[in-house]
Amino acid sequence: MMKDLAVDEILATLGDAKAISLKPGDVLFREGDEAHAMYVLKQGTLRVLSGSTILETVREGGIIGEMAIIEERMPRSATVIAGTYCELVEIDVPRFLAMVADTPAFSITVLRVISRRLRVMNRRYRDSTRNL
């Protein structure tokens, strides 16, 4: 069984990737924005929102923004706001594609994150329709 890459393993492959700092309340991106990168959260917490609903809190070591770059130029599906002081590393599309090609464990890590998020959303949907 292939293991997920830990955040330090992902960061080690990134070398000179762009670092981003956010203060609490800063917006990383908004729902509908054009996507050009995904991010690895080195420090802090991010809130993922759709409208005023918090869909997820991403913690240190998490990845965010992967859906929009996988879907090639699809708009962002949610808004992401810093809940605390955050340090992130940006993975742009060319680097993402290179990592997918060169590091199968990175691909599996991204797929597992997407799968987990889909399961959570399916459970929420099922729970919300149970009493209809």
CATH code at position 102: 2.60.120.10
Q: 34-78, pLDDT tens digit by residue?
A: 998 999 998 999 999 988 888 889 998 888 998 888 887 788 989
Query: What is the spatial distance between Cα 41 and Cα 45, in angstroms, rounded to a whole number?
Result: 8
Query: What is the spatial distance between Cα 88 and Cα 80, in angstroms, rounded to a whole number?
Result: 12
At residue 89, the 3 state secondary structure works out as strand
- How many structural domains comprise the chain? 1
What's the pTM? Answer: 0.81
What are the C-alpha distances in Å from 3 to residues 6, 42, 119? 9, 20, 20
Judge whether 132 lies within some domain: no
Domain around 44: 7-124
Q: 14-25, pLDDT tens digit by residue?
A: 667 788 999 999
Judge whether 102 lies within some domain: yes
Query: What is the spatial distance between Cα 57 and Cα 123, in angstroms, rounded to a whole number?
Result: 17
Of the candidates 17, 13, 30, 16, the one whose C-alpha atom is nearest the C-alpha of residue 107 is: 13
